[in-house]
């Protein structure tokens, strides 16, 4: 059975995960992690992708990125993956694959949904019991998004910028948002949409994307979809961003 094509739209953020093959480590030391982030910064710029959030775990990576054109996320991930594998194999005297096949990605539409997704990414080390505070994990975007460090990899998303009138307010509000208790249903919902590679956003955005692409974008409701012109569908997607 052919693989379902990813939902890939310009100027729509994507939540991305790439795992080590057979859940084996993809980072062996801090030099590996630093090299990956340096490559990510360079390659994301080359392919027109803005990075809003990231976390490097032992055997997988989460990213939140927005492309300016369709296809740019795929090109970024392919270029990054190949370069990093060549470097790791040479550095550690290993051969063969490092990644578990294709990365997974789902589009994220709507400010509230995007902020929840960003929070999910930065809380990953906390859920894994690696740290007691997301700020204690040095290999994520959290320190940059709370203003503790200057992270040149990050490009603030408009949803994050809406957290306050100044950077100081945004940093403080983001810190509170991430460290507050999170409903388990929210965490599971974000995870499920990513694993199924389905759009994470409000119902009207899902319907608009389905009308635009002519195929399912999420679990949705049963029954025949309403008819909608391509122009109206594109406008609905833009309004939901």
Q: Sketch the domain layout of the chain as residue ranges.
A: 13-198, 202-241
pLDDT in tens, the chain (241 residues): 456 778 899 999 999 999 999 999 999 999 999 999 999 999 999 999 999 999 999 999 999 999 999 999 999 999 999 999 999 999 999 998 999 989 999 999 999 999 999 999 999 999 999 999 999 999 999 999 999 999 999 999 999 999 999 999 999 999 999 999 999 999 999 999 999 999 999 999 888 888 888 888 865 443 444 444 444 444 444 444 4
**Rounded distance between C-alpha atoms, residue 6 and residue 86, angstroms:** 26
**Rounded distance between C-alpha atoms, residue 165 and residue 167, angstroms:** 7
CATH topology of domain 13-198: Alpha-Beta Plaits (3.30.70)
* Residues sharing a CB contact under 8 Å with residue 87, sequence separation 6 or more, in sequence order: 35, 39
CB-based contact 35:42 (threshold 8 Å)? no
Which of 9, 16, 7 has its CA nearest to residue 190? 16
Q: Phi, psi (5° rounding) for residue 14?
A: -130, 135
Burial of 39 (0-12, 13-18, 19+ CB in 10 A): middle
Say whether pTM exceeds 0.95: no
Determine how β-strand 104-108 pairs with β-strand 13-19: antiparallel
**Rounded distance between C-alpha atoms, residue 144 and residue 158, angstroms:** 16
Category of 62 on φ-ψ map: left (φ > 0), alpha (ψ -120 to 50) or beta: beta
């Amino acid at each position: 059975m052919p693989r379902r094509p990813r939902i890939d739209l310009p100027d729509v953020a994507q939540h991305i995960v790439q795992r080590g093959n057979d859940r084996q480590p993809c980072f062996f030391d801090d030099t590996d992690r630093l090299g990956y982030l340096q490559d990510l910064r360079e390659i994301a710029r080359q392919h027109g992708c803005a990075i809003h959030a990231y976390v490097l775990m032992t055997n997988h990576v989460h990213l939140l990125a927005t492309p300016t054109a369709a296809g740019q996320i795929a090109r970024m991930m392919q270029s990054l993956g190949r370069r990093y594998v060549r470097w790791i194999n040479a550095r550690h005297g290993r051969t063969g694959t490092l990644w578990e096949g294709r990365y997974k990605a789902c589009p994220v539409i709507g400010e509230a949904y995007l902020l929840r997704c960003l929070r999910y990414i930065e809380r990953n080390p906390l859920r894994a019991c690696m740290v007691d505070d997301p700020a204690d994990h040095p290999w994520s975007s959290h320190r940059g998004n709370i203003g503790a460090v200057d992270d040149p990899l990050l490009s603030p998303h408009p949803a994050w910028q809406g957290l306050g009138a100044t950077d100081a307010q945004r940093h403080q509000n983001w810190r509170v948002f991430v460290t507050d208790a999170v409903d388990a249903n929210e965490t599971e919902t974000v995870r499920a949409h990513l694993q199924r590679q389905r759009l994470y956003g409000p119902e009207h955005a899902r319907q608009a994307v389905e009308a635009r692409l002519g195929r399912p974008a999420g679990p949705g409701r049963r029954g025949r979809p309403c008819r909608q012109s391509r122009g109206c569908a594109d406008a609905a997607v833009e309004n939901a961003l």
